[in-house]
Amino acid sequence: MDSDTAEAERIRIVIIGAGFAGLGMAIRLKQSGIDDFVILERAEDVGGTWRDNSYPGCAVDVQSHLYSFSFAPNPDWSSVYSPQAEIWAYIRRVSEAHDVLRHVGERIALLHVHLHRTALHHGERLQVLEVEGVIICWH
């Protein structure tokens, strides 16, 4: 099937990036009973910042118990300011436990978004964007 005849897969929600933020959003969607989403991640693995930075001594500078998902406290942090590898493992472990890793499309970079409708709720700091289509790039 070529690109002209291929049927587009309809996905309700697209999350860009499988870092702390994207995976946290995905878990919250799951907890809300929403399963119809995909996470596009341009790298080969999840973890974002904590995947990309592995220099010696790389660690969190906010106490680990605070630098955690509120719904997934971790009594096993090895230190108050945990090292990068431990945080990366935590992100992966929690994502796995909440069954969101299977929603991640790795090595897919979002190149362009066509905004269909923008609703701004002034004063409420709420902005709703409806995405009409995305162009993705397989590396």
Enumerate binding residues for ligand FAD (CB under 6 A).
16-22, 40-43, 48-49, 53, 58, 60-62, 67, 109-110
Between CA 45 and CA 64 the distance in angstroms is: 22
Q: How far is the CB of 5 from ligand FAD (least distance, A)?
A: 26
Whole-angstrom CA distances from 113 to 110, 117, 132 are 8, 12, 8
Q: Which is nearer to ligand FAD, 80 or 97 (CB)?
A: 80
Q: How far is the CB of 139 from ligand FAD (least distance, A)?
A: 11
Between CA 3 and CA 9 the distance in angstroms is: 12
Q: Which is nearer to ligand FAD, 19 or 29 (CB)?
A: 19
In terms of Cβ atoms closer than 10 Å to its own Cβ (0-12, 13-18, 19+), residue 105 is middle
Q: How far is the CB of 123 from ligand FAD (least distance, A)?
A: 26
Q: Which is nearer to ligand FAD, 121 or 139 (CB)?
A: 139
Between CA 128 and CA 139 the distance in angstroms is: 30
Q: How far is the CB of 116 from ligand FAD (least distance, A)?
A: 19
